[in-house]
Amino acid sequence: MEDSNRSSNPSIHDVSDLARRIVLRGGFGLAAAAVFAPLVGCTGGPPSASAPRLGFKGVAASTADALVVPEGYTASVLAAWGEPVGIAGQMPAWAPDASNSAAEQAAQMGMHHDGMQFIPLDGSRRGLLVTNHEYTDDGLLHPGGMQPWTAQKVAKSQAAHGVSVIEIELVGGRWQMLRPSRYARRITAATPFAVGGPAAGHALMKTAADPGGRRVLGTIANCASGATPWGTVLVGEENWADYFYPAEQPTAHERRWGLRRNSWYRWHEHDPRFDTVRHPNEPHRFGWVVEIDPLDPNSTPVKRTALGRAAHEGAWAAVTKEGRAVVYSGEDAAFEYIYKFVSRDRIRPAGGGLTAAQANSTLLDHGTLYVARFDTDGTGRWLPLLHGQGPLTSDRGFADPGEVLIKARQASDALGGTRMDRPEWLAIDAASGWVCCALTGNRDRGSGTHPGPDAANPRAGNTMGHVIRWQEEGDFSGERFRWNHLLLAGDAANERPEARGDVKGDAFACPDTLAFDARGVLWIGTDVGSGSLNQGEMARLGNNQLLACDPARGEVRRFLVGPARCEIAGCSFTPDGTTMFVNVQHPGEAPGARNDPAAPSRHSTWPDHRPGGRPRSATVAIRKDDGGVIGT
């Protein structure tokens, strides 16, 4: 796990008073209710007055190699790794021995499904699924794993990254892929991207292959995603640092971004642009939020540099009362930051021959980026990353606005943003104005020379993670906010107080995915690392899972348990709420290593359960047998 922030900020947040932390941790405790009374009121009244929103019978923790859903629900596998996405004339069948070529993989679902958005085409009966493919396990991706390691295998790994667009339809109560489809598309680590915003054409973005600094090949490490009101999908580039191979002694700038000489992917051995000695600016072209228009399969996706460079988990849009876009994001790395971007311009409607996506094709190129500072009194501030203001000046290493964005981490260090416990997904409840962020955990908090607990990140050795939330002052564009903890994850049966948490309901750890449904239920997917699952403090928690949280009552109930050694990733709904799509990522992930190609079924055979076969990441569609709304 990356941990590259050696800045000393922000000491003013350090909270050594345990009593103070207890007040702040009790999202729904009496003390917290008193401190945050105006916030609690905004959810629609005191918790006891709201009707229960969780109507299903929770499922037990499980360690089985099976997907478990509540009684009265059915889950069906929809789009596993290797299924052809449906490009006319290019629909190669999946080869269970992983013998598909790189070209075939580039027309098939990529590996290790992550963030996902359902884009309706015909209400809740037909639509697009836009799915990220975060990383590859090259032990499973090729018949012989990485032995030998070849240019063809690098090309296949690159083709298994990126994003898939598929068209799906509900037929007789069951979702199926429509193939061929005019929307079917693969975006990979080789697809041309445009660059938008202040860093487009910047000297630090220029390479030998792209002297203009405005055209980048590919997107990688695509973790979470969010749909925009103008019909596009925003995708994060998260652990991109793992793909680059620097000099034996990386520069201070490279070290701040986590570049180190242990490239997990070994792409640089056959693709020199991932060798930063030869191509030092190539890493600057990753770590952006990318915007994709899934309704136009011929559109060029864009890297939106105005949103800042980071290990972006994903990005999520809200709309202000006057119609401007606000995009929240965070970076999932230990002790890194939460950001928001406020657009300069208002969102434009479709018209004049333009779709909504086309009418807003430069909306995210102009605006202000902020980093979050969480203060001990339950308020917070958004600190603007504006060139020329405060420490963001040429003499401090920020020559221009583009350099501030390319070096957003260093700018946030200088401004004093709050160093968080690995920000994962955010979710916005537009009705109440609550913005939630999953902080998946940070076992280094408070150890050695690492920062100790602070108000926002209140536990040392934070193995369990928490969900923080805030409401903006005035509107989503506000520069101040009030915050509290929705919950601290954990298991009340744990011996270590810091690992018990305050969950009212089913125990869980390591929140990652967050998604509000239309009823205001917050769905929480977990990502306990493969090396920690079902042992130690995680012993009673079972496989990774999806839980429903009723924020008004603070109640948490386990809805789904995934197969062995998976994590639960994307979660998206049809507009009527009767189908939930969930991505099951990396079933059978080997702890801390790749899978052994000689024994691909050692840790899981889900979903095919073919003897000796490979486990496959897959999207599942979940419906209630009576056709009702999920979770009721």
User: Which residues bind to ligand FEO, rule: CB under 6 A?
Assistant: 134, 223, 238, 313, 332, 424, 512
Residue 238 touches which member of ligand FEO, Ca ion, none, C-beta under 5-8 Å by kind: ligand FEO
Q: Are 360 and 367 in contact (CB under 8 A)?
A: no
Residue 145 or 314 having the CB closest to ligand FEO? 314
Residue 525 or 588 having the CB closest to ligand FEO? 525
At its nearest, how many Å lie between Ca ion and the CB of residue 124? 26
**Which 159-188 residues touch Ca ion, going by CB under 5 A?**
none
Q: How far is it, in rounded angstroms, from Cα 59 to Cα 70? A: 6
What distance lies between CA 14 and its chain's CA centroid?
Answer: 27
Look at the block and give the residue holding tokens 């103008």. 230
Residue 424 or 502 having the CB closest to ligand FEO? 424
Q: Strand, helix or coil at 267? A: helix
Q: Are 369 and 477 in contact (CB under 8 A)?
A: no
Q: Among 198, 446, 226, which residue's Cα sits nearest to residue 318?
A: 226
CB atoms within 10 A of CB 627: 10
Residue 428 or 524 having the CB closest to Ca ion? 524
Look at the block and give the residue holding tokens 């990383």. 135
At its nearest, how many Å lie between ligand FEO and the CB of residue 547? 17
Q: What is the DSSP letter of 613?
A: P
Residue 403 contacts Ca ion per CB under 5 A: no
The pair of three-digit structure tokens given for residue 17, joined into one six-digit string = 């008073």
Residue 13 or 312 having the CB closest to ligand FEO? 312
Residue 32 or 224 having the CB closest to ligand FEO? 224
Residue 290 or 342 having the CB closest to ligand FEO? 290
- Spell out, one character per residue from 406 to 445, where the chain touches Ca ion: x when CB under 5 A holds, - when not: ------------------x---------------------
Residues 6+ apart with CB under 8 A from 232: 291, 292, 293, 294, 357, 360
- Spell out, one character per residue from 490 to 529, where the chain touches Ca ion: x when CB under 5 A holds, - when not: ----------------------x--------------x--
Residue nearest to Ca ion (CB): 527
550: amino acid identity, one letter: D
At its nearest, how many Å lie between ligand FEO and the CB of residue 223? 3
At its nearest, how many Å lie between ligand FEO and the CB of residue 110? 14
Residue 10 or 465 having the CB closest to ligand FEO? 465
Q: Are 177 and 164 in contact (CB under 8 A)?
A: no
Q: Are 291 and 193 in contact (CB under 8 A)?
A: no
**Which 191-230 residues touch Ca ion, going by CB under 5 A?**
223
Q: How far is it, in rounded angstroms, from Cα 227 to Cα 632? A: 24
Look at the block and give the residue holding tokens 């399969």. 297
Q: Among 283, 262, 263, which residue's Cα sits nearest to residue 409?
A: 283
Residue 18 phi, psi dihedral angles, 5° rounding: -60, -40
Residue 491 touches which member of ligand FEO, Ca ion, none, C-beta under 5-8 Å by kind: none
**Which 525-554 residues touch Ca ion, going by CB under 5 A?**
527
- Spell out, one character per residue from 581 to 610, where the chain touches Ca ion: x when CB under 5 A holds, - when not: ------------------------------
Residue 225 or 299 having the CB closest to ligand FEO? 225
At its nearest, how many Å lie between Ca ion and the CB of residue 504? 24
At its nearest, how many Å lie between ligand FEO and the CB of residue 565? 16
- Residues forming beta bridges with residue 427, ordered by sequence position: 436
Q: Are 630 and 577 in contact (CB under 8 A)?
A: yes
At its nearest, how many Å lie between ligand FEO and the CB of residue 569? 8
Q: How far is it, in rounded angstroms, from Cα 158 to Cα 219? A: 9
Residues binding Ca ion (CB under 5 A): 223, 424, 512, 527
